[in-house]
Amino acid sequence: MFVAEANPLNASPLIFPALECMHIVGFAVTVGTIALVDFRLLGWGMRRQTTGEVASDLAPWTLFGLVSIFFSGPLMFSSDPDMYYLNRSFQFKMVCFALAILFNYTIHRKVALGGGSEGLGIAVACVSLLLWVGVIFGGIFIAFV
């Protein structure tokens, strides 16, 4: 049985909100940059660049966001793991997150860097956006489920 009180993160009321701010910046950058690549795949703007150029230019920012998420997320989780891992919305979020990351660095990356038809690009962009929206909604509803 995890004792939340013993966790140094719970020592000050400011640590959790500070981590949550870091978390929000992290996923705004991660999901924001991936969504821009998806919009390019859908033909929504950025037409002076190829999808491959957009994806390559934004890839370092996506990683920066992920570093911030992987720092803040598990730390927030450690503030009360018994509550989180039993939370249906958190479970849904983590499944979407695992699928979204796997998809992003396999099929999505291959198609964004120029592999496949326009129709495939549109399908890949839709799956990607759906998965990341699932992660965000899963995160938001943690507090309400």
Q: Which two tokens stand for residue 73?
A: 């997320």
Which of 51, 68, 84, 124 is the binder for ligand HEM (CB under 6 A)? 84
Q: Which two tokens stand for residue 7?
A: 């966790």
Does position 14 interact with ligand HEM (CB under 6 A)? The reply is: no
The minimum distance between CB 47 and ligand HEM, in angstroms, equals 27
Does position 124 interact with ligand HEM (CB under 6 A)? The reply is: no
> What single-letter DSSP state applies at residue 12?
S
Q: What angle do CA 121, 24, 51 make, to 5 degrees?
A: 20
Does position 69 interact with ligand HEM (CB under 6 A)? The reply is: yes
Question: Closest CB to ligand HEM among 39 and 116?
Answer: 39
User: Residue 140: how many CA atoms within 13 Å on its side-chain side?
Assistant: 6
Does position 77 interact with ligand HEM (CB under 6 A)? The reply is: yes
Q: How many residues does the chain have?
A: 145
Name the nearest CA neighbour of 104 among 143, 68, 131.
131
Does position 92 interact with ligand HEM (CB under 6 A)? The reply is: no
Residues in contact with ligand HEM by CB under 6 A are 20, 23, 27, 30-31, 69, 73-74, 76-77, 84, 97, 135-136, 139-140, 142-143
